[in-house]
Amino acid sequence: MAKDKKPNKLKARLPRGFVDRTADDIRSADDMIAKIKAVYEHHGFDPIETPTFEYTDCLGKFLPDTDRPNAGVFSVQDDDEQWMSLRYDLTAPMARHVAENINEIQLPYRTYRVGYVYRNEKPGPGRFRQFMQFDADTVGAPGVQTDAEACMMMADTMEALGIERGNYVIRVNNRKVLDGVMAEIGFGGDEHAESRLTVLRAVDKLDKFGPDGVRLLLGEGRKDESGDFTKGAGLSPENVEKVIAFTDGTLEMDNDGTRELATMQAIFDACGYGEDRIKIDPSVVRGLEYYTGPVYEAELLFDVTNEKGEVVQFGSVGGGGRYDGLVKRFVGRDVPATGFSIGVSRLMTALKNLGKLGNESMVAPVLVTVMDGDVDSLGHYMKMVQDLRAAGVRAELYQGNWKKFGNQLKYADKRGCPLAIIQGSDEKARGIVQIKDLEEGKRLSAEIEDNATWRESRPAQVEVPLAEMVDTVKKMLADQAADRETVRAATK
RNA sequence: GCAGUCGUAGCUCAGUUGGUUAGAGCGUCGGAUUGUGGCUCCGAAGGUCGGUGGUUCGAAUCCACCCGACUGUACCA
């Protein structure tokens, strides 16, 4: 054999912008989803699920670009040459579902859905190419009372997740108001659609760059930290000031949009949702494409620090609005709709910071160790495991090489097992088992330096008759849980 | 996409003006210890020095291009 018989090892690597989820993450996410679901169900919404793939033309009018069919979305061609894409939000697929079943669905249709969505764009801290959204929508409801309800439900959801009042705010605006502002600065007609977008994008960055940064973007342009230059909207100085005056509330408008906002405000007042929960804010822009009326977003107000300890601008964790034209694309007649989306993945990172994540992580299983590997013994050990499970105790049998007993406890230690059950032939002959408290043993290990003593003293280990094993285990686990609770209370 | 910074072991990093066979700590695995985690000691495995080409007697080191990561910015339905 040649000595360099090393074939090129395949490099194991995760596609960028994607993450593997740990056990803790999954449990936390499940916990969050359950809480959000409870709020939506309570408000009278029913679940629906659509697939992750859709025909590209059903997702939007934008794709695929023939040169770059994967720009923004992940697209593939089916074997009949049709373009399919991974969904980039949950709203467009829902609109497709409603349109396809419009004759069977009773409108207004109140529905929620949760799932992963995919975006083929540059990932960043807290921005991934696969992430989870949780949406609720009402289709076939023309009045702004539906939008108002959505805002209040978003507020309720934040609180259900443990975010205290004052730590979040739902900000509301209306696209029709923004259209009025565009008309004011002479960007009214269709021929100015592109310029309008530039202006709206600039306004959207108010929280990121502040009024002065937005002034630059509305005017000549702005240079970023790396020295790269971004071209501005090219507005005249007086128009720049007009837009800024509107966003800070100095310039008041009077049009359909402001009247709709007034109605919504009246509903918030009637229901007791004050400005500490829902606030009308003229700088909210939100999705630039299909929104036609009210738009709203949920913003977190507490500081979020990343793993490096830096405070990061977190921005919105969810948002939505009215999209009266989305279903119409399919059915031809007006089907008004409004709804919002919560970014589960983003919210989860924020909640982790706030310590509001269910981090009472699952206790590892009790480990039944194996001293003898003969058929009878294996059956006997497995029966011990089953007895523990039948009593509601999370338990497992050691599945590695049983001949190295030290490794079994090493495994139990690293896995975080609370207890280990030991029964060799001696114990078996006497009808007893050893129950080792691994947590207590870890504490004792600090006082023992010599390995021989450490092994012989068998710290934190009790002997009980086999018949009492289950009860003793349950009692020891309960004691450990109580200890953890005391420690947690003390550190608060 | 544009701009900036950076790529050496699984991880964190050292590596002199360009000079033998590229090192350390941590981690992993084995042993000291056929039936007891931790500590300690001993040993081992682990590297296309991001890639390709060039300069040179000689390149981890210098040059060019490419790839990748990070940060900012743009886009984000």
Task: Give the tens place of pLDDT for each residue, A101-114.
Answer: 999 999 999 999 99
Q: From the alpha carbon of A455, which nucleotide's C1' atom is closest?
A: B36
- pLDDT, residue A310, reads 61
Closest nucleotide to the alpha carbon of A436, via C1': B36
Nucleotide nearest to A222 (CA to C1'): B73
Nucleotide closest to A404 measured between CA and C1': B34
Give A198 CA → B4 C1' in Å: 25
Residue A58 belongs to a domain: no
Nucleotide nearest to A409 in CA–C1' terms: B37
Does residue A442 share a domain with residue A463? yes
State the pLDDT at residue A6. 41
Closest residue (CA) to C1' of nucleotide B1 is: A122
Please indicate, yes or no, whether residues A378 and A342 belong to a single structural domain of this protein: no
Least confident of A149-153, A235-239, A299-303: A299-303
Q: Are residue A431 and residue A307 in the same domain, yes or no?
A: no
In a domain, A96, yes or no: yes
Confirm whether A439 is domain-assigned. yes
Tell me, in Å, how far CA of A225 is from C1' of B64? 28
Q: Give the nucleotide nearest to A434 (CA→C1').
A: B36
Last residue of a domain, one of A332, A354, A376: A354
How many angstroms is C1' of B75 away from CA of A84?
Answer: 22
**pLDDT attached to residue A2:** 29
- pLDDT tens figures, A285-341: 886 678 899 999 999 888 776 655 566 667 788 999 999 989 999 999 999 999 999
Residue A394 has pLDDT above 60, yes or no: yes
A69: in domain: no
pLDDT of residue A311: 66
Q: For residue A346, what pLDDT band results from cuts at 50, 70 and 90?
A: confident
Residues A169 and A129 reside in one and the same domain: yes
Same domain? For A382 and A326 the reply is no
Residue A293 counted as domain residue = yes
- Is residue A70 very low, low, confident or very high in pLDDT (cuts 50, 70, 90)? low
Q: Which residue's CA shows the smallest distance to C1' of B48?
A: A8
Query: CA-to-CA distance for A74 and A13, rounded, in angstroms?
Result: 19
pLDDT at site A241: 92
Distance in angstroms: CA A388, C1' B17: 70
- Nucleotide whose C1' lies closest to the alpha carbon of residue A197: B75
> Which residue segment(s) compose the domain that A251 sits in?
23-52+87-354
pLDDT surpassing 60 at residue A175: yes
Angle subtended by helix axes A144-160 and A256-271, to nearest 10:
50
The protein residue nearest nucleotide B38, judged by CA to C1', is A445
Average pLDDT, chain A: 88
Whether A37 shows a pLDDT value over 90: the answer reads: yes
Residue nearest to nucleotide B73 (CA to C1'): A224
Whether residue A167 is found in the same domain as residue A206: yes
Distance CA A152, CA A164 (A): 15
Number of domains in chain A: 2
Which residue gives the smallest C-alpha to C1' distance to B39? A449
- Nucleotide nearest A418, from its CA to each C1': B37
In a domain? residue A168: yes
Q: How many Cα atoms are found within 13 Å in the side-chain-facing hemisphere of A246?
A: 29
Residue A358 has pLDDT above 70, yes or no: no
Mean pLDDT for A112-135 is 89
Residue A141 lies in a domain: yes
Domain of A475, CATH number, reads: 3.40.50.800
Q: What's the farthest any 2 CA atoms get from each other in chain A?
A: 95
Amino acid A127 CA to nucleotide B63 C1' distance, rounded Å: 37
Q: Give me the CA A122–C1' B66 separation in Å, rounded.
A: 20
Shared-domain flag, residues A349 and A442: no
The Å distance, CA of A232 to C1' of B33, is 73
Q: Are residues A452 and A326 in the same domain?
A: no
CA-to-C1' span, A346 to B68 (A): 26
Q: Give yes or no: residues A224 and A203 share one domain.
A: yes
In whole angstroms, B42 C1' to A416 CA is 29
Percent of chain A's residues with pLDDT above 70: 93
Report pLDDT for A93: 95
pLDDT in the model for residue A30: 92
Judge if A401 and A350 occupy the same domain.
no
Neighbours of A485 (CB within 10 A): 11
pLDDT at A4: 35
The confidence score (pLDDT) of residue A288 equals 66
Nucleotides of B under 7 A from a protein CB: 1-4, 30-40, 47-48, 68-77
Report CA(A485)–C1'(B26) in Å, whole number.
Answer: 33
CATH number at residue A292: 3.30.930.10
Same domain assignment for residues A152 and A287 = yes
Contacts of A392 (CB under 8 A, 6+ apart): A474
Over residues A9-23, the mean pLDDT reads 79
CA dihedral A179, A184, A190, A195 (to 10 degrees): -90
Quick one: which of A423, A384, A432, A387 has its CA closest to A402?
A423
| Nearest nucleotide by C1' position to the A441 CA atom | B37
Residue nearest to nucleotide B74 (CA to C1'): A230
Confidence of residue A229 (pLDDT cuts 50, 70, 90): confident
- Report the nucleotide nearest the CA of residue A372, measured to C1': B35
Q: What confidence score (pLDDT) does residue A303 get?
A: 76
- The verdict on residue A359 lying in a domain is no
Domain end among A333, A354, A375? A354
From the CA of A252, how many Å to the C1' of B54?
67
Same domain, A315 and A412: no
Residue A7 confidence (pLDDT): 44
Last residue of a domain, one of A354, A375, A401: A354
Residue A422 — pLDDT band, cuts 50, 70, 90? Answer: very high
Q: Distance (Å) from CA A12 to C1' B65?
A: 27
